[in-house]
């Protein structure tokens, strides 16, 4: 396995919670904060911190609104986030193929 390939993985995506967030968002148009929190089994603060990092990088956008009188935070994957996630997956596939072929 080439260690340089592993070091090329986007560290922003590689963190487990952020990888989980993007894995969910790539499959849906949008997801409420509460849905992500439940699916990832994490706390409000932890999820909020990871979403902020993804938002600052331009990988997700966050929309705040109200559903009745209750606040609603909805998360969307941006085109930039989609491309970064695809690149991340392609890099993982190359690492796996390299490892399997013994290079």
Question: Which residues are CB-contacts of 69 (< 8 A; sequence separation ≥ 6)?
Answer: none
How far apart (Å, rounded) are the C-alpha atoms in residues 59 and 88?
A: 13
Per-residue pLDDT of the chain (103 residues; tens, 9 = 90+): 456 666 678 999 999 999 999 999 999 989 999 999 999 999 999 999 999 999 999 999 999 999 999 999 999 999 999 999 999 999 888 888 877 766 5
Q: Does residue 94 sit within a domain?
A: no
Amino acid 1: pLDDT: 47
Amino acid 97: pLDDT: 83
Q: Which two tokens stand for residue 72?
A: 């609603």
Q: Would you say the C-alpha torsion 18, 56, 31, 94 has a positive or negative sign?
A: negative
Q: If we measure between CA atoms, which residue out of 1, 28, 13, 4 comes closest to residue 89?
A: 13
In which domain, by residue range, is 23 found? 13-85
CATH number at residue 46: 1.10.10.10
Query: What are 75's strand-pairing partners?
Result: 31, 62
The domain total for the chain is: 1
Q: Does residue 65 sit within a domain?
A: yes
How far is CA 81 from its chain centroid?
Answer: 8
Amino acid 74: pLDDT: 98
pTM tops 0.95, yes or no: no
Q: Does residue 77 sit within a domain?
A: yes
């Amino acid at each position: 396995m080439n260690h340089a390939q592993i070091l090329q993985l986007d560290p922003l995506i590689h963190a487990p919670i952020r990888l989980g967030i993007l894995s969910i968002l790539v499959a849906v148009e949008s997801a409420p904060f509460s849905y992500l929190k439940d699916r990832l089994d994490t706390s409000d603060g932890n999820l909020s911190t990871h979403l902020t990092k993804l938002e600052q990088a331009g990988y997700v956008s966050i929309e705040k609104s109200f559903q009745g009188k209750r606040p609603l935070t909805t998360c969307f994957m941006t085109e930039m986030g989609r491309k970064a996630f695809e690149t991340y997956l392609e890099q993982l596939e190359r690492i796996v193929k390299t490892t399997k072929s013994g290079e």
